[in-house]
Amino acid sequence: MRIIAGQFRGTALASVGKGDAGAHLRPTTDRVRESLFNVLMGGKFGDPITDAIVLDLFAGTGALGLEALSRGATQVTFVDDGRKATSLIRENIRLTRSKDATKIISRDATRLPPCEGEPATLIFLDPPYGKSLGQKALESARQQGWIAPEALIVWEESAPQFAPEGFTLLDTRKYGDTHVTLLEFA
């Protein structure tokens, strides 16, 4: 895995390796990440990345949030409760020298603490597939003040997702077995 574009372009990220079977790490492939960012930057959504405040839920390796930071986001908060994931995120922050623009919350993404800073304008949501955790995490983020008005949500799952109440469905895409649902917070 590597950063595709921007100031960290070409930076190799820490390898998941064989990992911890219990960690359920399923990093977004470089190909899917590149396609996803091409869609985001393709004009239909304006420029949701430059100066964005990013919330990366179920962050795993942190690749999505770091890609956004590389492409001009201002701040990224990574949320994951896995020890292996947290270790990989810390290493990837070190590799990209982005500590000043990042924060890690080692916590279950479905039980977020109240937001203490600016709410996120761009949210990556990549829960373990098929466990119905995405909607719970999105609801927790909404209740705790993490989502800015008109924030863009990028939700990866094994199937297209419906827009929960208070969100508008903008688009859906399929990349192999990954379905990406794009939502806007109303």
Three-class SS state of 8: coil
For tokens 């960012």, what's the residue?
37
Our measurement of the distance from residue 171's CA atom to the centroid of its chain's CA atoms, rounded to an integer in Å, reads 17
CATH class of 56-185: alpha beta
Residue of 98, 55, 51 lying closest to 76 (CA atoms):
55
Contact 76, 69 (CB under 8 A): yes
Query: What Rg do the C-alpha atoms of the chain give, in angstroms?
Result: 15
Give the C-alpha separation, 35 to 126, whole Å: 16
- Pick the closest to residue 153 from 116, 175, 186, 125 (CA basis): 125
What residue spans define the domains of the chain? Answer: 56-185
pLDDT (tens digit, 0 to 9) for every residue of the chain, 186 residues total?
A: 888 898 999 898 887 765 444 445 666 677 778 888 988 987 788 899 999 999 999 999 999 999 999 999 999 999 999 999 999 999 999 999 999 999 999 999 999 999 999 999 999 999 988 888 999 999 999 999 999 999 999 999 989 899 999 999 999 999 888 899 999 998
